[in-house]
Structure 1
Amino acid sequence: MQRRFLGVLSAVLLALTTLTAMASVSYAAPAPQTKAADFTGIVALSNCSGSLVRTPNSADSDPAMVLTNGHCLETGMPSAGQVITNRASSRTFTLLNPSGGDQATLRATTLLYGTMTDTDAALYKLSSTYAQIKQQYNAPALEMVLQRPASGGTLHVVSGYWKRIYTCQLNGFAYRLREAEWTWKDSLRYTSQCNVIGGTSGSPAIDGASGKVIGVNNTINESGGRCTLNNPCEVDEQGTVTVRRQIGYAQQTYTLANCIAPGTTLDLNRSGCTVPRG
């Protein structure tokens, strides 16, 4: 009898010990799932990459927009301090299908905004509406965020020119990014996996969790040069210069997305619109 009682007691103690151990385990919150990236909403330019974009406030009946870099303009790179707004344009863009094949040609009517000052971005207004593009090609536009993103998440940089997808992490922000005569503010910094090359300029930087556009890819320090063309450097609040060889950057787009009013019109007086006015 005594042996049997001890056996039962041992079993009870073992069960209590196991439950206590389980109760003491802390479970971390699940990390946000990364959405798979493809070429939906991606376009190729003659010299760069780009994306079909909209804001959360865009209507399906509004003319669609294409986002790319200011240094990708068909007229060449704007000089420091130059801002171009509402200029007629007939530029064409090759719309890709989700697997990266050429699907259609889209045409601009207007360069809504283009600059390389504080940011490196350009927005074109197209001759087709979002609804027409979706109906004809089953191609939804990518949504641009209206707020500054947080650091640390997964990014996809999707190049229509090279039909290539880079995936890395958002590794923080550069207070100022200087390259030759141009200076950009609050730039997104990539981890080294996004080793972008020429032709990827203008690619959207897409947040891996939400699938939304948070930036536009524009440069990488190619050879370790200090603040020269193709070799950007970071400058902090105290003026200290840091060179990060083979690290790439994108420019945030929420500052420009907030400038788009109903009907795909540019309104530089809208709340949250903080891009230069020239």
Structure 2
Amino acid sequence: MIVDDGGDATLLIHEGVKAEEEFEKSGKLPDPASTDNQEFQLVLTIIRDGLKTDPKRYHKMKDRLVGVSEETTTGVKRLYQMQASGALLFPAINVNDSVTKSKFDNLYGCRHSLPDGLMRATDVMIAGKVSVVCGYGDVGKGCAAALKQAGSRVIVTEIDPICALQALMEGLQVLPLEDVVSEADIFVTTTGNKDIIMVEHMRKMKNNAIVCNIGHFDNEIDMHGLETYPGVKRITIKPQTDRWVFPETNTGIIILAEGRLMNLGCATGHPSFVMPLDV
């Protein structure tokens, strides 16, 4: 049984089985250079190296598996996509959508860990700042509540009309990101989607704006676009806290945890009290 977080182990086995079938048929090995995603490059490298010693390793793993339990929104989305396409190789249990997980861990856990990570990483005074929370699902609700209670003026960006209306009913302003990108001090992505804050958004931000992600993976924030932007300079303030300076303006933004989950990279995640509710 796989107890997965983000669908990474599940992805590895599925990609491994696919690569083994291709290797058996054509002798072709996976090419890590075929993708720009650094984490997927590592997955393909692991599979490629494994094929040289055991060309049936992942088939053996698959045959021994009872199934997978998945505890994150992102991982569950990936599993549903696999199921819809007929690619899912074994049964899956959706832990994420249990009420005790989504309504407690996602909401109250993030309400606790977001300000913890912000203050550990930057020692920023949240009160009086303008904060943008991208997404108003359970994670976004917890983050917006934490920032509001700390004295920040919170603006929400949200494409779902019901969630947007919920934000309005909580007294929060709901606007497109493009309308507020130049005035906010803190940006938090909470969507579980990709390409939320792009490098063009970052170029328009005020000097030393803080940008962080608590949704999932490092592609909610366009880290690849930022890292490859011509002339951009990375200054490491301390581990997991970097200032990126744009050459044309000589102004910079502060990225936490390299665009990955800041409550894990800059803090210690969710308290142990709330985590048992995930199961």
TM-score (normalizing by structure 1): 0.27
Which structure is larger by alpha-carbon Rg, 1 or 2? 1
Higher helix share: 2
TM-score (normalizing by structure 2): 0.26
Higher strand share: 1
Higher relative contact order (CA 8 A, sep 6+): 1
